[in-house]
Amino acid sequence: MSEREPDGAEQQSLGLAREAGIHRIALPTPFRVGRVNAYLIEDEPLTLIDAGPNSGSTLEELEAGLAALGHVVEELELIVITHQHMDHFGLAALLARRSGAGVAAIDALVPYFSDFEHEAEREDEYAAATMLRHGVPRDYARALQALSATYRSWGAPVEVGIELADGGELHLGERTLQVLRRPGHSPSDTVFYDARRRMLIAGDHLLKNISSNAIVTRPLPGEYDADPAASAHLDGRPASLLTYTSSLRATATMDVELVLPGHGPLFGETPALIAERLKMHGRRAEKIARVLADAPRTAHEIAQVLWGDVAVTQAYLTLSEVLGHLDLLTGEGRVREELDGETISFALVADSV
Ligand SMILES: [Zn+2]
């Protein structure tokens, strides 16, 4: 799995980053998204943003990428993690052990990372329960839960020694990074903003070529009641897409010349990209409203109408996608939830279309 050659615009962006002492190292992952971007910041301390999944081939490529820049793992002094997904933090503990580097992440992630195995299991249970609530057949939900458990070794528990606060700052010798929490893709998405250089290290909050999934995720430990929108739902689930779109709107107001994302090419012109993404979410919500025109349906039934049977690995993402857009419609008062036994279905509110 080799990375395609960067094109002209991308070469230019990578050059801009390099001038700021930031080097992208695209690492292999076993996931559908393909490679994940780690970034080496040549500063004091020598800093790595994101670590890639916990796998031998990823470690080998990271070592080769560092070597090409004249460094070795043992020199790393700080590892910063953008969010809770395995393709971003899996190797962090191993790298920290080998180098003695401190690990930094948003404060809410500290208990999650230190007890990762247990937290991941709870997360999978939560996802399975959400699937059942929304009409996904039991064997399907079980199969996905079992599959998810086999993926877990691409993550590994890690002790976060440097807790970052939303709105705080991370000081390196040559730069100050503002720490901003931008949840929605996951509960812990954190972006790092260099205002002087107008650069944004964005994790998966904003990607150029794919719209980030707003995955319905179990809230982080200690944050169960933090999401006021969740109480609007019969199952108390977080309104991930609403959270995500409000995070996008916050980012759209920032003065950014270059985004360094968690996957794919570096890019600029964020307000236009964000406007396009928000419009797309609006269109998807309309499509779902049309599916409800003849009868109330569960989220799973809506997914079936729109996409038919999907691969079991995609079932939860698909469900999250439907639930997120239903939240947009619910927020506008156009759709309401109904409890039918154990299952939740969605109906158009009369006179609202
Ligand atoms: Zn992610």
Calculate how far, in angstroms, residue 20's C-alpha sits from the geometric centre of ligand 1. 25
Find all residues with CB under 8 Å of 140, minimum gap 6, and list them: 131, 312, 315
Calculate how far, in angstroms, residue 204's C-alpha sits from the geometric centre of ligand 1. 5
Calculate how far, in angstroms, residue 293's C-alpha sits from the geometric centre of ligand 1. 34
Calculate how far, in angstroms, residue 32's C-alpha sits from the geometric centre of ligand 1. 12
Calculate how far, in angstroms, residue 107's C-alpha sits from the geometric centre of ligand 1. 18
Instruction: Supply the mean pLDDT for the chain.
Output: 93
| The pLDDT of residue 2 | 46
pLDDT category, 303, cuts 50, 70, 90? very high
Find all residues with CB under 8 Å of 161, minimum gap 6, and list them: 102, 103, 104
| The pLDDT of residue 236 | 82
Buried b (16+ CB within 10 A) or exposed e, 131-145: bbbbbbeeebbeebb
R_g (Cα) of the chain, nearest Å: 20
Report yes or no: 251 and 245 within 8 Å, Cβ to Cβ: no
Calculate how far, in angstroms, residue 88's C-alpha sits from the geometric centre of ligand 1. 7
Calculate how far, in angstroms, residue 277's C-alpha sits from the geometric centre of ligand 1. 17
Checking if the pLDDT of 308 tops 70, the result is: yes
Phi, psi of 130 (to 5 degrees): -65, -40
Calculate how far, in angstroms, residue 83's C-alpha sits from the geometric centre of ligand 1. 7
Checking if the pLDDT of 353 tops 90, the result is: no
Find all residues with CB under 8 Å of 44, minimum gap 6, and list them: 77, 172, 173, 174
**274-290: pLDDT as tens digits:** 999 999 999 999 999 99
Checking if the pLDDT of 352 tops 70, the result is: no
| The pLDDT of residue 260 | 98
Helix, strand, coil shares of the chain as percentages rounded to 5?
Answer: 45, 20, 40
Checking if the pLDDT of 74 tops 50, the result is: yes
Calculate how far, in angstroms, residue 252's C-alpha sits from the geometric centre of ligand 1. 20
Calculate how far, in angstroms, residue 145's C-alpha sits from the geometric centre of ligand 1. 18
Calculate how far, in angstroms, residue 25's C-alpha sits from the geometric centre of ligand 1. 17
Q: Taken in order 142, 147, 148, 153, is the CA torsion positive or negative?
A: positive
DSSP at 1:
-
Calculate how far, in angstroms, residue 37's C-alpha sits from the geometric centre of ligand 1. 11
3 state SS of 267: strand
Q: With residue 164 as reference, give the H or E element that holds it.
A: strand 162-164
pLDDT category, 3, cuts 50, 70, 90? low
Using a 10 angstrom Cβ sphere, with 0-12 exposed, 13-18 middle and 19 or more buried, the burial of residue 100 is exposed
Proportion of the chain above pLDDT 90, given as a percent: 83
Question: Residue 38 corresponds to which tokens in the numbers above?
Answer: 């780690």
Calculate how far, in angstroms, residue 186's C-alpha sits from the geometric centre of ligand 1. 7
Calculate how far, in angstroms, residue 341's C-alpha sits from the geometric centre of ligand 1. 34
**42-51: pLDDT as tens digits:** 999 999 999 9
Calculate how far, in angstroms, residue 33's C-alpha sits from the geometric centre of ligand 1. 9
**53-73: pLDDT as tens digits:** 999 999 999 999 999 999 999
Calculate how far, in angstroms, residue 82's C-alpha sits from the geometric centre of ligand 1. 9
Checking if the pLDDT of 237 tops 60, the result is: yes
pLDDT category, 222, cuts 50, 70, 90? confident
Checking if the pLDDT of 147 tops 50, the result is: yes
Calculate how far, in angstroms, residue 290's C-alpha sits from the geometric centre of ligand 1. 30
Calculate how far, in angstroms, residue 288's C-alpha sits from the geometric centre of ligand 1. 25
Calculate how far, in angstroms, residue 85's C-alpha sits from the geometric centre of ligand 1. 5
Calculate how far, in angstroms, residue 283's C-alpha sits from the geometric centre of ligand 1. 24
Nearest-angstrom CA–CA distance, 230 and 234:
9
Calculate how far, in angstroms, residue 311's C-alpha sits from the geometric centre of ligand 1. 20
Strand pairing category for 102-106 and 78-80: parallel
Calculate how far, in angstroms, residue 352's C-alpha sits from the geometric centre of ligand 1. 35
Checking if the pLDDT of 239 tops 50, the result is: yes
pLDDT category, 229, cuts 50, 70, 90? low
* Concatenated DSSP letters of 15-68: HHHHHTTEEEEEE--SSTT--EEEEEE-SSS-EEE----S-HHHHHHHHHHHHH
